[in-house]
Each structure stands twice: as structure tokens, then as C-alpha cells.
């Protein structure tokens, strides 16, 4: 049998001591063994927990009337008054983290405060404040709210890029409304993407228990530094099964800074279509390993084209950061600010080279339809604001076997209206889609003709 470690001997000694405690002193749990304190997370948590808050929201939803209620006979028979709008009040719970005590800024998940009419923040000491929304980014599920900065405690940020699989982490939040609940575990995986949870995914995976109400809570390391914002779980039952996800703090801080400055995240575009690099494709292009993102199309008049990127280039690094796959490249570029310069290491014709580009406004390049509406997934769109001969939004490309393709959208179509409202820019599509969660009626110009399409 292997020799017991010093820590194991301490634990056995502590257990033996407990067994010998008399009934009169059974509440006196030993705090040390052989003169050394027992390991505990309590000192760290005493510093960190005041920075984690409870968020309660309340919203009012207008309910649709049953068609029978429009029948005067039906209403008279059941003695129903006409013209009474029906409403339903809904409540939800989540968590948040005080990032800036001086200004009262709290970060949470976008879905925690989405459509909320009232937001109440409860601090660790029981104080309650009404919160205002500073801004949100649903694509990355990050939001910032603000409360009066009265004796707040902010959390200290760590460096999520230095996390390793196997590092110990602690999740703090308010699952099921149970305030200030702490669970522990390890980092199970890094860079999780392609889960379909958010538009931009680069999750930390952990087995620390995360449940309903933990959203927006803190994931900290053993030094009490914030390394992630708890966001989602993978579960068939709705409860924790040991697969939870958190947004890395480095990613969250970048988004928070933009939300505080602009009230939104201003993402830029390079103007490229990309796909994952499979082992077969890597071999065909003469690349030794399968890490990277393959450029399938460089859009016309885009920053990518101006920089000299070409179809078939394989992006290996962005600003010195290695690119694993297409999602990794999308996340990395999507977190850059408009106007930022970007240094790309690409593989072309058997050799690596450096290409420098700048990140442009979305209407300077193109937009992936899914970011505007899930019904447009698979389509790449570009505004025609600078085209004096045409008005609308151009369909630059459509991937086969996607919602946009199955609905009938094709390359070079021009969307001129949606739900009979004129469309002149990409933001028009986004605004109309948000106000109309049902089917979208598109008026399309194709070649020399026109047609209507319904996207469900």
C-alpha cells in the first residue's frame, strides 16, 4: 500500500479527534490538526460572496384572446366584458456580479433581464435596489445593469486565458431562489462551442453544480478571482448533471466595456464565409494538422478582400491567438471593435504568411442572416445603401439545406420588403424580425421579376 500523504494523515487525525469528542463538546469541531489549519474555502468566500447578488425580474405579457371572445353571443352568454385586455405577470430569478462598485455596474446574463419591466437587486446583506438596464448583447448572453453605488463590494477579475482543464473552481449564485449558494468542482473543458446556446460561444465547462437561478452568477478560482459568468447547463431534466457552462471573464469584460461605453456591443465584420477544417481538407490543402478555419468565400468590397485574403486561405492565428475552428474565428473577430486592426496568420499555397486587415462596420461588409433572425440562417446579406441603382438588402450567398435555402432564398436575390415594410438596410431586417416573432413575408426581386416568400 502506498504511503499516506501528509494531508491524508491530517484528515484521518481530524476524524479520529472528532470521534473522541465527548457529547458535551460535540459542537467543538477542530480547526487544526498538528498545529496546522484544516483546508477550507470559507476565508475566500467571505471576501467574494458580497459581490454576488440576487436578481428578480417581473414582466407583463399581453395575452391573445381566443377568437370565440370576439363573438357577441358568446360574450353575452358567459357575461364577459368587452375591451378588457388580458395580461399575465411573470417573474424570474437569476444572479449577478458587481464588477464596478464605484459606479454600481452589475454584469448578468441577457436572458435574465430580457423583457423585464422591473428589476430588483438584492445584495448579500439583504439590501434591495431597483436596477436600470445599461445595455445587453443577446448574441453572447451578456447584460449590464446599474444600481446606486452605496457601499458595494466588487469582485476581482482573473485571467480566463490562463485556465487549465483540472483547475478547481467555485460557482456562486442563487439557484431556485436559494440565496448565496456555493458549489465547487473543476474546469472540465475549455473553448466549448457549437452548442447552439448562443450566437458567440467559447464556454468554460465545469462540473460545479449550476441550476436554474445560477445564470449570471460567478465562477471563481481558489484565489477568489472571477474567471467566468455562469450561463447555461446541459440537462434533460432541467437540473444539474455536472455539465455547466460559463462565459470566460476575458470575453465578458470586453463586452461589458462596450456596453458601458455605447449601450450595446458594436461588432465589426471582415467579410468572409468560413467552415471547419476537417482532417481530409487539411490534407488536401497540404496542412500538417487540422487546426484552423477555412475561408470558403471572400465577399466583394469587404475589408477581407481589400486586405488580400482569398478563397481557400486557412486562418491559423488572429492577433497571435491560435484558431481551432470556424466558431473560434467567428468568436475572436466578433469580439473585436469596429475599426480595430487585426493581424491574421494564414496558410496559402503551402506556406504561412501574415495579412493585416481592419474590422469594418457591418454595413461595410456583410451580415450572416442568423444574427438578424433564426429564419434567415444560412444566408449572407449585404446592404445596398451605397448602390445608386438598387434599393434593399442583397442575398450574397445561401448555404444549401439551411432554413433560408429551404424557404427559397437564392444568391443575388434582393429583399425589398418584409411584412410589407420597406427594407433598406440590415438593421431594418433585425428590427422587423424582433417585432414579428411569427412568419416573415419577404418581397424578393430576382433577375427581372419579383416574388413573395414566407419564412417560418
Mean pLDDT is lowest, of 8-17, 285-294, 392-401, for: 8-17
User: Is the sign of the CA dihedral 215, 216, 217, 218 positive or negative?
Assistant: positive
Q: Where are the domains of the chain?
A: 6-39, 49-70+87-265, 272-363, 367-455
Q: Give the bridge partners for 297, in sequence order.
A: 273
The pLDDT value recorded for residue 324 is: 86
* pLDDT single digits (tens) 334-374: 778 877 889 999 999 989 999 999 887 765 555 678 778 88
**pLDDT over 80 (residue 393):** yes
Listing from the earlier edge strand, what are the strands of the sheet with 142-146? 128-130, 118-122, 52-62, 87-100, 105-108, 142-146, 132-137
What CATH fold (topology level) applies to the domain 272-363? Pdz3 Domain (2.30.42)
Query: pLDDT exceeding 90 applies to what percent of the chain?
Result: 41
Task: State the pTM of this model.
Answer: 0.66
**pLDDT over 90 (residue 316):** yes
Mean of the pLDDT values across residues 149-171? 94
Query: Which own/partner contact pairs does 320-325 have at CB distance under 8 Å and 24+ positions apart?
Result: 322/291, 323/291, 323/292, 323/293, 324/191, 324/291, 324/292, 325/193, 325/194, 325/276, 325/277, 325/291, 325/292, 325/293
**pLDDT over 50 (residue 27):** no
Q: Which of 92, 110, 111, 367 is catalytic?
A: 111
Query: pLDDT exceeding 70 applies to what percent of the chain?
Result: 81
Q: So what's the architecture of 49-70+87-265 in CATH?
A: Beta Barrel (2.40)
The pLDDT value recorded for residue 155 is: 95
The pLDDT value recorded for residue 409 is: 93
For residue 346, the surrounding DSSP H or E stretch is strand 341-348
Q: Do domains 49-70+87-265 and 272-363 have the same CATH topology?
A: no
Residue 186's pLDDT band (boundaries 50, 70, 90)? very high
The pLDDT value recorded for residue 67 is: 56
CATH number of 367-455: 2.30.42.10
* Secondary structure (3-state) at 447: coil
* pLDDT single digits (tens) 65-119: 555 555 665 555 556 555 555 566 777 789 999 999 999 999 999 999 988 889 9
Q: Residue 325 and residue 144: Cα distance in Å, rounded?
A: 29
- Could you give phi then psi for residue 284, rounded to 5 degrees? -65, -35
Residue 4's pLDDT band (boundaries 50, 70, 90)? very low
**Cβ distance 396 to 410 under 8 Å?**
no
The pLDDT value recorded for residue 107 is: 96
Whether residue 413 lies in the annotated active site: no
Torsion of CA 194, 199, 201, 205, to 10 degrees: -80
* pLDDT single digits (tens) 209-237: 888 888 999 999 999 999 999 998 876 66
The pLDDT value recorded for residue 216 is: 92
Residue of 245 and 195 predicted with greater confidence: 245
Whether residue 111 lies in the annotated active site: yes
The pLDDT value recorded for residue 63 is: 54
The pLDDT value recorded for residue 306 is: 87
Mean of the pLDDT values across residues 273-299? 88
- Copy the grid coordinates of residue 196: 447552439
**pLDDT over 50 (residue 3):** no
Mean of the pLDDT values across residues 238-254? 87
Whether residue 103 lies in the annotated active site: no
The pLDDT value recorded for residue 166 is: 95
Residue of 428 and 315 predicted with greater confidence: 315
**pLDDT over 90 (residue 135):** yes
**Cβ distance 313 to 277 under 8 Å?**
no
* pLDDT single digits (tens) 194-214: 676 766 778 999 999 888 888
Q: Which of 92, 110, 188, 215 is catalytic?
A: 215
Residue 5's pLDDT band (boundaries 50, 70, 90)? low
Which of 121, 100, 101 shows the shortest CA–CA distance to 112? 121
Q: Which of 137, 141, 202, 207 is catalytic?
A: 141
Residues 6 or more apart in contact with residue 329 via CB below 8 angstroms: 274, 293, 315, 318, 323
Q: What's the mean pLDDT when you consider all of the chain?
A: 83
Amino acid at each position: 500500500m502506498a504511503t499516506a500523504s501528509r494531508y491524508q494523515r491530517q484528515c484521518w487525525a481530524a476524524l479520529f479527534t472528532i470521534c473522541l469528542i465527548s457529547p458535551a463538546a460535540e459542537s467543538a469541531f477542530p480547526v487544526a490538526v498538528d498545529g496546522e489549519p484544516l483546508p477550507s474555502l470559507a476565508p475566500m468566500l467571505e471576501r467574494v460572496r458580497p459581490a454576488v447578488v440576487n436578481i428578480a425580474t417581473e414582466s407583463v405579457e399581453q395575452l391573445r384572446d381566443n377568437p370565440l371572445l370576439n363573438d357577441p353571443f358568446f360574450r353575452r352568454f358567459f357575461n364577459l366584458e368587452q375591451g378588457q385586455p388580458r395580461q399575465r405577470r411573470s417573474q424570474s430569478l437569476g444572479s449577478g456580479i458587481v464588477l464596478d462598485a464605484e459606479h454600481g455596474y452589475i454584469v448578468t446574463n441577457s436572458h435574465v433581464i430580457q423583457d423585464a419591466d422591473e428589476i430588483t437587486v438584492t445584495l448579500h446583506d439583504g439590501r434591495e435596489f431597483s436596477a436600470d438596464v445599461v445595455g445587453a448583447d443577446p448574441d453572447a448572453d451578456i447584460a449590464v445593469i446599474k444600481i446606486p453605488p452605496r457601499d458595494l463590494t466588487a469582485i476581482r477579475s482573473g485571467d480566463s486565458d490562463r485556465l487549465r482543464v483540472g483547475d478547481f473552481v467555485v460557482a456562486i449564485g442563487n439557484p431556485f431562489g436559494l440565496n448565496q449558494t456555493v458549489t465547487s468542482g473543476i474546469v472540465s473543458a475549455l473553448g466549448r462551442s457549437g452548442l447552439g446556446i448562443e450566437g458567440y460561444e467559447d464556454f468554460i465547462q465545469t462540473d460545479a453544480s449550476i441550476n436554474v437561478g445560477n445564470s449570471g452568477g460567478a465562477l471563481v478560482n481558489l484565489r477568489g478571482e472571477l474567471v467566468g459568468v455562469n450561463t447555461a447547463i446541459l440537462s434533460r431534466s432541467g437540473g444539474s448533471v455536472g455539465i455547466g457552462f460559463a462565459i470566460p471573464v476575458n470575453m465578458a469584460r470586453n463586452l461589458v466595456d462596450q456596453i458601458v461605453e455605447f449601450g450595446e456591443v458594436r461588432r465589426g465584420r471582415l467579410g468572409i464565409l468560413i467552415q471547419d477544417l476537417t482532417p481530409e481538407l487539411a490534407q488536401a490543402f497540404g496542412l500538417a494538422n487540422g487546426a484552423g478555419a477555412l475561408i470558403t468565400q471572400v465577399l466583394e468590397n469587404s475589408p477581407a478582400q481589400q486586405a488580400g485574403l482569398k478563397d481557400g486561405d486557412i486562418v491559423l492565428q488572429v492577433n497571435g491567438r491560435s484558431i481551432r475552428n470556424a466558431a473560434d474565428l467567428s468568436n475572436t473577430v466578433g469580439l473585436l471593435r469596429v475599426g480595430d486592426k487585426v493581424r491574421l496568420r494564414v496558410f496559402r499555397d503551402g506556406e504561412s504568411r501574415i495579412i493585416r486587415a481592419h474590422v469594418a462596420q457591418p454595413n461595410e461588409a456583410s451580415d450572416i442572416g442568423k444574427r438578424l433572425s433564426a429564419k434567415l440562417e444560412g444566408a449572407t446579406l449585404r446592404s445596398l445603401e451605397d448602390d445608386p441603382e438598387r434599393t434593399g438588402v442583397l442575398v450574397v450567398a445561401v448555404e444549401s439545406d439551411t432554413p433560408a435555402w429551404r424557404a427559397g432564398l437564392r444568391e443575388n436575390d434582393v429583399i425589398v420588403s418584409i411584412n410589407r415594410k420597406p427594407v433598406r438596410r440590415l438593421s431594418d431586417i433585425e428590427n422587423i424580425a424582433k417585432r414579428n416573432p411569427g412568419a416573415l413575408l419577404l418581397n424578393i426581386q430576382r433577375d427581372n421579376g419579383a416574388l413573395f416568400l414566407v419564412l417560418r
